[in-house]
Every structure is written in C-alpha cells, then in structure tokens.
Amino acid sequence: MHDPPETCNTSGGYKAIELDAISTYATPNTSPPPPGFHGPGAFGPDTVDEELVLDRARRNGLSATAVVSKERRRVLLGNAPETPSTDVLVRHTVHFVIRVLRSWPRLLAATHHTAQLPPIIHNVQVVDGSLPKPLAHCYTLAKIWDGEVGGSGELVQRTVLDEVQRLFREFTSYDEANLLAAAQSLLILLIILFFGGADGQGSGVKLQAELVTQLWDVKERLAGTGLFLAEESNHTRPRWRSWAAVSAKRRTILAMHHFEWAWSLRTGYPVLTCFELAAVPAPVAGYLWRETNETRWESLYDDWLRVWKDGVYKIGEFFHIQAEGSLDPRSEKWLSEADEFGMMLMAESKDPVTPAA
C-alpha cells in the first residue's frame, strides 16, 4: 500500500504538493507561498481549486489524507512539542474555541432530555427518545464529569479514558449509524480528557498525542461511509434523514479537525492545515439544521436552494477570506445564516500562525 500523499502542513510551513498524487489541489496559476509566510488558521492557504477537489471527492470520497500520514504520526509521537505560541490573537482564538468545545459535554450534562444537543449531533439520531448506545454512554460520563467533587477528578478521567479506549477497539465493528455515534462520543470524551480539568487542562500531552493519531483512524472510516449526496451535487432537495445523517458526519469530521487544530496550538505542536475538506459543503443555515419537522424542513430547504442558486458554500471558500476588511458577498451570506458551530469555524478561518522554528 502506498503512503497517503502529504497535503498537510505538519512542520509549521507550507510544503509542496505532489501534483499527480492528489489530482491537483493547487491552482495552475498560483505560486507557492513565499518563505516565512505566516499561514492562516485551520482551513489552510489560498491555493485551492475547489472544483478540482470537488470532482475528486465525488469520485473517491474524502481524499487519502483522511488517513494520518507517517509524517504527522512522527511529529506527534516522536517529537516533543515546541513552546506554544505567545501571539495574543492566536491565544485568544484558541481559548475561545476550547471554551466552545467544553460547552458540548456541559450541554449534555445540563439537560435531562435530548431536545438540546451539541451542534454535531442531529435530532434524527435520537430514536424513541434514546441516543445510540455509544452516545448514551457518553451522555452518562458527561454527567459524571460535570458532577465530580473535590478529589474525584482523576477517577473521572480514568473512567472516561477507559470508554475512549473501548471505542477505539470496537469502532471497526459498528454499522454506519453507530460509527457516527462513536465518532461523536469520542470527540466529546476527548474534549473532557484534554480540556476538562478545573484549570482547563487534562491528561498528559504524550497520551493526548497518541489519542489524536487514533482519532484519525475513526475519521478515515467515517469519511469512507460517504460525505456527499447526489442531490446536493445536482442542486436538488435530498431526503431529510439522508441529509441529516451526512450533515452530522461532515460536522463531526470538521469538529475533529478543529479540535486537533486548537490542541496543536495550545500544546506547541505544528498546526495541521489540510486541503482534503475543501470540497465539503460548509455547515448549512442553522434553521435547517435545527428543524425537526420533515415537511417544514422540505419547504425551508427549497427556499434555501433558491437563495444559493449559484451553488452551495464550500469549506474551500474559507481559504480565500481575508484577515481584515469586509467579507466577500458569499461568505457574508453564509455567515448570516450560520449557527454557533459555523461561528466557531469562522473565528478560526484566518488566524495568523507563526511557523515552528
């Protein structure tokens, strides 16, 4: 088996992309970033041809870089982290993202029903008032974490880690619905492990790096179940449940990516900026995601398609957002519809990150 192509920034700077390996991610008329270029946030640089990426994604699903590369694995498991960035803007954004992520297990713990869920879990995943088994376990552990008393933090962390390791052992045996639930559960439990301490800290960095690389295996398998619907490519309305499921998968993979981005910056590891998500539709309007009535959703979706008659907004369009000044019309229109998950993505889209020495 060939190693997956390197399209990610794993050393702090932007490396050349092998043209024949990935069906051209860089546009023909775009020069590589200059030496010392301080790249953007979690979405990568401006040298992406979304149509070429979309064509490849339609044919093959998410690119091979959904597999953790040998280089990224070496960086995480073989190197000690550098000193975290001291840039005030970067640190502010990282803390903002971590606070948002910590709110997801808090939301599970604070509610006694499934009417309010983290923005990666869709209501259609709730069957007869119950969550899939992997998420049900996560729900219970979130409540234990939320209710821990002095001196019990280490016990809670060990219990959460046991469940994380169980899911890593078993996820390959799950059907698609339970695989999605396991991926969502893993992300929320890792948020508790990494950022869930009273001081915002969590388990040791070496263990965290090992868990991050294992999470890539889950991301790869989830992406392999499909991230696109034919109706979306044809700009027609899909079936509600199919759309909800694929939207939840895309949100979960995006959240995993941004979780690793924030963790890398916080701990001093080089930032991972990947291109493979460029072709993925960005999270849609909050009112579509939150709608729980199928008939009402169909009407709203038809209206939404007319608003986006020139094509849906894709993750690759984040690459072109400038750090200052007004947004372009499409980005501004997308932001006007975004829910809290979209707001978090926008906050990260153009953070300046200094390459590692």
Least confident range from 27-41, 71-85, 157-171, 178-192: namely: 27-41
Handedness of CA 43, 75, 163, 160 (dihedral sign): negative
**Does residue 273 carry a pLDDT above 90?**
no
CA separation for the pair 253, 180 (Å, rounded): 10
Please tell me the predicted confidence (pLDDT) of residue 92. Answer: 86
Q: Is residue 68 one of the residues assigned to a domain?
A: yes
The three-point CA angle 227-232-235 to 5° equals: 165
Number of domains in the chain: 1
3-state secondary structure of 233: helix
Average pLDDT over residues 222-226: 92
What are the φ/ψ torsions at residue 61 (nearest 5 degrees)?
75, -160
Which structure tokens are listed for 112?
A: 């006694």
pLDDT in tens, 123-134: 999 988 888 999
Split at pLDDT 50, 70, 90, the class of 75 is: confident
Is the separation of the CB atoms in 355 and 13 below 8 Å? yes
Q: Is residue 120 one of the residues assigned to a domain?
A: yes
First vs last Cα of the chain: how many Å apart? 33
Is the separation of the CB atoms in 4 and 64 below 8 Å? yes
Using a pLDDT cut of 70, give the percent of the chain over it: 71
Please tell me the predicted confidence (pLDDT) of residue 53. Answer: 46
Q: Which residues contact 233 (CB under 8 A, 6 or more apart)?
A: 58
Please tell me the predicted confidence (pLDDT) of residue 5. Answer: 33
Characterize 218-233 residue by residue with b for buried, 16 or more Cβ atoms within 10 angstroms of its Cβ, and e for exposed.
bbbbbbeeebbbeebe
Residue 71 lies in domain: 50-348
3-state secondary structure of 281: strand
Is the separation of the CB atoms in 262 and 85 below 8 Å? no
Q: Is residue 284 one of the residues assigned to a domain?
A: yes
**Does residue 121 carry a pLDDT above 60?**
yes
Average pLDDT over residues 308-332: 90
Is the pLDDT higher at 214 or at 45?
Answer: 214
**Does residue 111 carry a pLDDT above 60?**
yes
Please tell me the predicted confidence (pLDDT) of residue 90. Answer: 82
Average pLDDT over residues 79-84: 70
Q: How far, in Å, are 118, 196, 240, 310, 323 from residue 237 at the CA level? A: 25, 40, 8, 15, 34
Q: 192: exposed, middle or buried (C-beta count within 10 Å: 0-12, 13-18, 19+)?
A: buried
Split at pLDDT 50, 70, 90, the class of 333 is: very high
pLDDT in tens, 294-315: 999 999 999 999 999 999 999 9
CA separation for the pair 181, 195 (Å, rounded): 21
Is the separation of the CB atoms in 355 and 85 below 8 Å? no
Q: Is residue 26 one of the residues assigned to a domain?
A: no
Average pLDDT over residues 67-85: 68
Split at pLDDT 50, 70, 90, the class of 198 is: low
Q: Is residue 192 one of the residues assigned to a domain?
A: yes
- Mean model confidence pLDDT for the chain: 78
pLDDT in tens, 145-196: 998 766 677 889 999 999 999 999 999 999 999 999 999 999 999 999 999 8
**Does residue 13 carry a pLDDT above 90?**
no
**Does residue 292 carry a pLDDT above 50?**
yes
Q: How far, in Å, are 14, 46, 281, 348, 350 from residue 322 at the CA level? A: 18, 10, 20, 12, 7
Q: Please name which of 40, 63, 43 lies closest in space to residue 53, comparing C-alpha atoms.
A: 63
Please tell me the predicted confidence (pLDDT) of residue 349. Answer: 65
**Does residue 102 carry a pLDDT above 80?**
yes
Average pLDDT over residues 14-40: 28
Q: Is residue 44 one of the residues assigned to a domain?
A: no
CA separation for the pair 285, 340 (Å, rounded): 10
